[in-house]
Amino acid sequence: MWKTIWEYKIVDSEQAEKGGFLKGRTLEQAEAYLNALGQQGWEIIDLDFRMDPTMPGGPTVFNGVAKRAKRS
């Protein structure tokens, strides 16, 4: 019987380096980042978005967890 071993990735835009992948970016740029993770095999299993209500469409920050089957 084959058992899948998972690896996990913490996704947290607020912990990115200054000027990092989502600091002050738009919702569309957040989607592009998440799509890139999907192309690498990551599946988001939990995600919490927070948007600045004074700026429609951004900036967006989020944190969550992604998983994928562990590669040998």
Domain ranges of the chain: 6-69
Q: Which band of pLDDT confidence, cut at 50, 70 and 90, is reported for residue 57?
A: low
What's at 71, amino acid-wise? R
The DSSP code for 22 is S
Q: What is the dihedral of CA 67, 28, 62, 12, to 10 degrees?
A: 60
Q: In whole angstroms, what is the distance from residue 72 CA to residue 69 CA?
A: 9
**In sequence order, what are the beta bridge partners of 47?**
64
pLDDT tens-digit readout, 11-53? 877 655 445 555 556 667 777 878 888 999 999 999 887 776 7
